[in-house]
Amino acid sequence: MTSQPAPHPVSLYPELGQDGTLRIALQNAVHQAGYRCEVLPDEGTGRSWSTARADSDGRTTGVRLGIRERCFVMTFRERGVARAGGTTTTLNEAATATGLWQSGAELEALRSACPFILLSPLAEGVERGTAAEARWADYRRTAARFVDHDLIEASYAQPQLRALFPFHSHRSLTFSRCTGFPYTHDAPVVTPVNGRYRVTWWKTRSPRGPADIGEADNPRDAVALVVAHLPPGCGPAVAGTAHDLGTPDSP
């Protein structure tokens, strides 16, 4: 079956105009709602016309447009950690949520004013200072196919790794010294490949891609390789981002 082409953006978002962008439309709506925060293009996505963000005081609101149906998909981060998200069909609701979050509103106030917003699974862990524990718990119980549960359990059994913040990049399991995005990338990465486990440095450690550390036949041996190559003083993971640690996103 041939998929139908996506509708023209103007038919879904007439408020953008023929040559407009989400950034301009959202900025105007934010100002009309009485908020003074600045809306920026989100250049890193490759779809700058349909994405936007606002940054202030450690908080970020991200907005992107649905391509096949009208929707404003929103994420709300604080110190790099996703605190909440949601989807609305109206630009005015997206503007109100953006203005509230960037003005310092608490999560409950944000949800009360914008009922379409849902808390991130990590939100409670962030409030309690247990974001790493919450992420490990999420990975241990998830049914997501990209998660190798044997690898997760072998990693969790190691105190040095359990103290770090785990995250997946595609099928690769990575460990960060901070709980917010951008994460640190100075610990080895484990990637399941055809029944084996490849341990490498993060791809930016080498201009040609991942630098190999070794391969293992099972998760336990792969995790042992990771532990043996952890940088000195690695962990426990702290609140904040790689930038807060004085470490760039890519080593």
Confidence at 192, pLDDT banded by 50, 70, 90: very high
Q: Which residue's structure tokens are 């991200």?
A: 62
For residues 53 and 42, the answer to whether their CB atoms sit within 8 Å is yes
Of the given ranges (40-44, 198-202, 227-231), which has the lowest mean pLDDT?
A: 40-44
How much is the average pLDDT of 3-19?
Answer: 76
Position 234 pLDDT exceeds 50:
yes
Indicate if the pLDDT at residue 33 is higher than 80. Answer: yes
pTM: predicted TM-score of the whole model, two decimal places: 0.63
How many CB atoms within 10 Å of residue 64? 18
Reported confidence tier of residue 89, pLDDT bands at 50, 70, 90:
very high
pLDDT interval class at 251 (50, 70, 90): very low
Query: What pLDDT was estimated at residue 250?
Result: 44
Round the average pLDDT of the chain to a whole number and report it: 87
pLDDT score, position 18 = 73
* Res. 57: pLDDT tops 80: yes
Is 45 a residue whose pLDDT tops 70? no
Sheet of strand 172-176: strand arrangement: 165-169, 172-176, 189-193, 196-200, 212-216
> Sorting pLDDT into bands at 50, 70 and 90, what band is 243?
confident
The pLDDT assigned to 97 comes to 97
Q: Where are the domains of the chain?
A: 9-120, 130-228
In the chain the beta strands, taken as DSSP E runs, fall at 40-41, 51-56, 59-65, 72-78, 81-88, 117-119, 165-169, 172-176, 189-193, 196-200, 212-216
CA distances 85 to 5, 75, 119, 133, Å, are 27, 4, 6, 21
Amino acid present at 174: T
pLDDT for the residue numbered 190: 96
- Angle between helix 219-228 and helix 149-156 axes, rounded to 10 deg: 40
| Residue 145, pLDDT score | 82
